[in-house]
Structure 1
């Protein structure tokens, strides 16, 4: 039920859905249908689109979730790694759907979002005892088959100048809870002295809640923030505002569902 409700909300506030509905306007105008519901669509679609794409609600709600995220400086990270000595330190990088796929579109998406995920690799690559666990999601539909573990890790290692032996990949998972269990299996093999979980500040509350429930000892590593406080743009045609609202509502619904089902 929660999954279904989440998907409905995601659809209604999706920029792609808004554009799709907006495309109906000229079509209905040409058809010149005089029934009441087409008039509602004609009037409502552009208003809905402008409100959702320009509303500050998305950035504001995202900021409310992200503002309490614990910060981690490079100096703190370096100090923790030094304290571990020769013992391994694990950095779990949650891809959040950005992975290495065979399709050109997905490869482009990975490259476009690459800078967001670069921080943990840049900080840790000079330390030989730091291992990276790259967590994938589950591919959905044909044409999105995962590259096998070898080529995926080889490309990532080459991109960041790392030894392939320091790169680990989890089995595919369909949600945050399964993803955490997959990470737990890899951690049992590495046996790190310290574990960091790197993902967006928006997703961290749910991730850390799941990790605590599974008794996985880990420290939060917010690699990037979606919100930019006090810089909301009110009257610009900006789809990112709708996307921020979609993502923040997705996380809020997920948090409620996970608490009710006992996963966090």
Structure 2
């Protein structure tokens, strides 16, 4: 009984639940003019919708499912593995011990598992810093250190640390890879919801990479984690990726708005 009680109480008293309850209380009991009440009502409705409806899931699931995982044959025949950066907090890693991995840490863990399963494949990392002002701390050197710490031999690593965005990965990584068709058959490891934009960029640059999606944000069908913070996180990443897809196509970085296999 105490287990269920503790869970229910936490659902009520967690900060974002209290925020929703406070908005509802002010809307119902507060003294305010008609226009103010309408404005507050609209804000409250949006907050409740984000907390209750799977808005982020609706945006993210099409991205998650756009590129299926590779076949075992494609994985086995791949000459190498490309890991896209963006799964590490550079600011926190630079001031605290260890590696401050984000919710996208599966990019690193899956790459490490692949590397140990196929010890003959080289691992190429691409990623610098996406910060507007501070370009001193970059992910490339930190990624090299982390991957070596996970047991990957230094001679297997190819590290590019100047790219600031997904759009810059192909051009800056290309000179570092072995001669031949750009990335032909190499596995491209990144978050599933980020894969359409990443594949679109590499395809437009003439690369022939094989998508290896990880870090899925949605279940295959139905179900989501209700709550304001979960809803805001899903909405943030969903809007960010769809806006990125539109922007990249408008800028000529991709051939399609929604790249397909």
TM-score (norm 2): 0.71
Matches within 5 A, 1:197-208: 197-208=188-199
| Superposition deviation, residue 134 in structure 1 | 1.9
Given that 2:70 and 2:210 are in contact with CA atoms closer than 8 Å, whether structure 1 keeps it comes out as no
User: Secondary structure at 1:203's aligned position in 2?
Assistant: helix
Question: What corresponds to 1:47 in structure 2?
Answer: 45
1:232 equivalent to 2:223? Answer yes
- Supply the distance in 1 between the matched residues of 2:40 and 2:155 (Cα, whole angstroms): 58
Shift in alpha-carbon separation, 1:23–1:135, aligned structure 2, 3 A: farther
Question: What corresponds to 2:95 in structure 1?
Answer: 103
TM-score (norm 1): 0.70
1:133 equivalent to 2:131? Answer no
- Supply the distance in 2 between the matched residues of 1:173 and 1:36 (Cα, whole angstroms): 52
Match of 2:84 among 91, 94, 118: 94
Given that 2:218 and 2:224 are in contact with CA atoms closer than 8 Å, whether structure 1 keeps it comes out as no
| Superposition deviation, residue 105 in structure 1 | 10
Given that 1:90 and 1:196 are in contact with CA atoms closer than 8 Å, whether structure 2 keeps it comes out as yes
- Supply the distance in 2 between the matched residues of 1:261 and 1:142 (Cα, whole angstroms): 22
Structure showing greater relative contact order (alpha-carbon pairs closer than 8 Å, 6 or more residues apart): 1
- Supply the distance in 2 between the matched residues of 1:142 and 1:22 (Cα, whole angstroms): 36
- Supply the distance in 2 between the matched residues of 1:22 and 1:69 (Cα, whole angstroms): 37
User: Secondary structure at 1:217's aligned position in 2?
Assistant: coil
Shift in alpha-carbon separation, 1:40–1:254, aligned structure 2, 3 A: same
Shift in alpha-carbon separation, 1:59–1:147, aligned structure 2, 3 A: closer
Question: What corresponds to 1:12 in structure 2?
Answer: none
| Superposition deviation, residue 227 in structure 1 | 0.9
Equivalenced residues, count: 232
Question: What corresponds to 1:209 in structure 2?
Answer: 200
1:68 equivalent to 2:66? Answer yes
- Supply the distance in 1 between the matched residues of 2:136 and 2:21 (Cα, whole angstroms): 32
Match of 2:153 among 148, 163, 170: 163
Q: Structure 2 stretches of 5 or more lacking a match?
A: 1-15, 255-261
| Superposition deviation, residue 74 in structure 1 | 4.8
- Supply the distance in 2 between the matched residues of 1:142 and 1:228 (Cα, whole angstroms): 37
| Superposition deviation, residue 181 in structure 1 | 1.8
Shift in alpha-carbon separation, 1:217–1:143, aligned structure 2, 3 A: closer
Given that 2:130 and 2:165 are in contact with CA atoms closer than 8 Å, whether structure 1 keeps it comes out as no
Q: Structure 1 stretches of 5 or more lacking a match?
A: 1-17, 82-88
| Superposition deviation, residue 47 in structure 1 | 2.5
Given that 1:97 and 1:136 are in contact with CA atoms closer than 8 Å, whether structure 2 keeps it comes out as no
- Supply the distance in 2 between the matched residues of 1:215 and 1:197 (Cα, whole angstroms): 14
